[in-house]
Amino acid sequence: MRKTAWSFPAMQAAVLLAGAAVVSAHADSLPGEKIYKQHCAACHAIAPDAPMGMGPNLRGIVGRDAGKVPGYSYSPAFKKALAGERWTPQLLDKWLEQPQSVAQGTYMMYQQPDAAVRAAVIEYLVTVK
Ligand code: HEC
């Protein structure tokens, strides 16, 4: 089998979609913080008062209104699509799977087809207050 960055997660996602119970069991074994560092940290700071990256700071994002990090300039697409929305784990899951499907034209160039990877990173975000 070809070992590219994409083939393994895609395959894992296909297997894991078979059952939600399997997804959460697998998520428990994934280190969300490590995934955050590898997948998100290049664009998103998370330390308090850290300098702004390409994306907004994500400290305390779960439960917060979308698009409200002071001083960050959100795309018009984001502001329009997410006005009045709050980041729940469910909305984050949808966002990380395919940001363009939530806010077409958003500046966030990332997508994560693996439900277990999304669950792990969201679990981590919940803990960072
Ligand atoms: C290539 C850079 C990049 C990567 C990688 C990236 N993001 Fe983003 N993200 C952005 C940008 C840019 C925005 C602002 C989107 C806009 O204004 O359209 C954003 C916005 C967000 C928002 C909305 C924040 C708010 O203030 O409402 C969340 C949540 C988010 N990203 C989570 C993540 C997570 C979690 C990861 C890793 C799994 C990730 N992002 C990976 C660039 C990135």
**How remote is the C-alpha of 35 from its chain's centroid?**
10
Q: 47 alpha carbon to ligand 1 midpoint, in Å?
A: 15
Hunting for tokens 């089998």 — which residue is that? 1
Q: Is 75 in the pocket of ligand 1 (CB under 6 A)?
A: yes
Atom of ligand 1 nearest to the CA of 64: 27
Residue 29: pLDDT band (50, 70, 90) is low
Average pLDDT over residues 35-50: 95
Could you give the CA distance from residue 101 to residue 31 in angstroms, rounded to a whole number? Answer: 27
More confident residue, 49 or 40: 40
Convert the pLDDT of each residue in 46-87 to its tens digit: 999 898 899 999 999 999 999 999 999 999 999 999 999 999
Q: Is 106 in the pocket of ligand 1 (CB under 6 A)?
A: yes
10 Å Cβ neighbour count for 124?
20
Taking the alpha carbons at both ends of the chain, their separation in whole angstroms is 41
Single-letter code of the amino acid located at 93: D
Q: Is 108 in the pocket of ligand 1 (CB under 6 A)?
A: yes
Single-letter code of the amino acid located at 111: Q
Q: 1 alpha carbon to ligand 1 midpoint, in Å?
A: 32
